[in-house]
Amino acid sequence: MQIYKFLKDINFPSDLRKLPESNLQEVADEVRREMIDAVSKTGGHLGAGLGVVELTVALHYIFDTPNDKLIWDVGHQTYPHKILTGRKNKIRTLRQGNGLSGFTKRSESEYDPFGAAHSSTSISSAFGIAEANKLSNKLNNVIAVIGDGAISAGMAYEAMNNAGASKTKMIVILNDNDMSIAKPVGAMRTYLAKLLSGKIYFSLRETFKLITSAFSKRFSAKAGKAEDFLRSAFTGGTMFNSMGFYYVGPIDGHDLNVLLPILRNARDSKHEGPIMIHIKTQKGKGYSYAEKASDNYHGVSKFDVKTGEQIKSATNLPTYTKVFANTLIKHAQKDSKIVGVTAAMPAGTGMDIFGKEFPKRMFDVGIAEQHAVTFSAGLATEGYKPYAAIYSTFLQRAYDQVVHDVAIQSLPVRFAIDRAGLVGADGSTHAGSFDITYLSTLPNFIVMAASDERELVKMINTSVDINDRPCAIRYPRGTGAGLELPSIDEKVEIGKGRIIQEGKKVCIISLGTRLNECKIAAEELKSKGITISIIDARFAKPLDKELIIRCARNHEVMITIEEGSIGGFGSHVKNLLAENGVFDKGLKFRSMTLPDIFIEQDNPKKMYDIAGLNASQISKKILDILFVKDSIKVVKN
């Protein structure tokens, strides 16, 4: 760690509270420098955290954390919080194996009362904690910080609707940085912009007067009317007030001289009901390269602090995301009915590339996956071909819409499921572990999994012509194998797998990108006299029943391989074989899936070792089945 005047002696918020207020800006400056230096060595989320440094210092200075509960929305903005809450000496282990999580995590610290890596959960969880305190006669403050685009999600409004009708005190900080991962979209962005037009900041005296007058129990009726008029004149009568929140702001979230008295008065007030403090911040604040970046350095690889230059991978291989986007563009050039939909992740899903080519046919609906799915369903009813490009982990948030609005109505929404499988440094909260299982159970669905970038192109080509039911294509994070891509005319037959190689003793049926590991395992076993058939299943639904049953009857052992949870592809294959009496003939069947645990962040190789899905583990699984216990003789083919 660098040498700091104040930060060297601050290990917990209690140390911070020993300092006079006059030193807090210097503390904030040191926290910002420490964060920049740490992330330059680990990579991670930078811009959001830089924007809340002063707020983080102010919150921990004014409130008695961890007794007072501080809940952060979208935990990627909590690196400064981690530095001040006992994790300073581990900050350079961010997102590494056995290191600090890139998000808030209850098991990591008592200062993280609620874990968050997805968005828009803070007000709901804070209201739950506040109600629990009320039931237990506890007087602890509960503070939720929501921002970085999270206010655009419906869950935030469900929570405000519930909390606003209560008499339960809680404090919500609306961190308005005019950004999420990409530029925010929708009416809420316009609404907040209107609040910020004209004279947008209170002076310290005005703010103090407003707060103290609003929360005083002794102000006269006349003074109360004057205060109401002031609030109304300043905000234009905000929606937040209408929802039952006492609204204050917007104020400068980087000015500690304003933040501290407002937070102190909110803490000490006897106001019954929720309070919302609207602050304006700048994403990337205090680091010039982040301030100038279009995404304000939301997520970065390791970088040079002096130049801002990020250390990029040396590979020139295309990512699966770009292969998807570029293929879709080729089809959209020929088919005007093709449209793209994303939920606040245009760059992450490749929809930014599609949107540049077809700006009127790409819809970023904000952090609103439920809406994205049903919006896509609406497009499909009118003959359009929507491609809803959503990460696997985020599609979980819209499962009812997938079932009720898409599958039951058999609408041809095409789901492009990015980040399927394990995702490395983002860990368990962002892993695409469950989509095979939660989609393959649905009637009317086609579920495809690309084993490489060539197969991805063919599956996209195939999906364009699926007009009678929904389909999904899952593909992983990262780069392909560098294969030559097929034309947009090459397709796959729905529900048909492909034979990669044929052997006699063992049949491996692989779904998705572990196919190459299956090939390596087969080569290892060939030297032991075991010949293996390998099938690329391509489809989790519909299954290639004829091929699977034939292979089961012609081999002694069958193993399914998938980068997904139990209950997915392997379970469907096992059910198929059982229903057709194949097990009665002595078939030895096993499924290799992701284990029944949440796999924590690490480098991909180690994560696959934990999952048991690397080539050596596939080989061992086969040998364990074929060997007679305690025998050293290898069974020949």
Residues known to be catalytic:
283, 369, 397
Look-up of token digits 């989509």: 435
Tokens representing 389 are 């490009």
Alpha helices for 152-255 (secondary structure H): 154-164, 187-195, 204-215, 221-235, 239-242
Q: Which residue spans within 454-511 are E strands per DSSP?
A: 471-474, 498-501, 506-511
Can you read off the two tokens belonging to residue 623? Answer: 């040998």
Q: Which residue, 100, 61, 63, is CA-closest to 78?
A: 100
User: Which helix (H) or strand (E) covers residue 447, if one does?
Assistant: strand 446-449
Name the residue among 163, 142, 171, 437 with its Cα closest to residue 279. Answer: 171
Both tokens of 213, joined, read 């007058």
The Cα 100–Cα 332 span in angstroms is: 43
Calculated CA dihedral for residues 47, 153, 446, 383, nearest 10 degrees: -110
Phi, psi angles (nearest 5°) of residue 91: -65, -25
Taken as a whole, the chain contains a residue count of: 637
* 447 φ, ψ (degrees, to nearest 5): -125, 115
Q: Are 552 and 577 in contact (CB under 8 A)?
A: yes
Q: Residue 526: how many CB atoms within 10 A of its CB?
A: 14
Which amino acid appears at position 66 of this protein?
P
What does the DSSP 8-state code read for residue 575? H
> Could you give the dihedral angle defined by the CA atoms of residues 503, 509, 513 and 517, in that order, rounded to the nearest 10 degrees?
-40
Distance between CA atoms of residues 608 and 587, nearest Å: 27
Enter the DSSP assignment of 542: S
Half-sphere exposure of residue 64: CA atoms within 13 angstroms, side-chain side: 6
Cα 524 to Cα 493: distance, rounded to the nearest angstrom: 31
Largest CA distance in the chain: 95
Residue 208 and residue 586: Cα distance in Å, rounded?
A: 80
Closest to 398 measured CA to CA, from 46, 118, 132, 592: 118
Closest residue by Cα to residue 438 from 629, 571, 341, 618: 571
Which amino acid does the sequence have at 111? Y
Please give the C-alpha separations between residue 100 and each of 18, 94, 175, 469, in angstroms, as whole numbers. Answer: 27, 5, 24, 43
Record the tokens describing residue 181, joined without a space.
Answer: 């991962």
Could you identify the residue written with the tokens 């050293």? 632
SS3 call for 37: helix
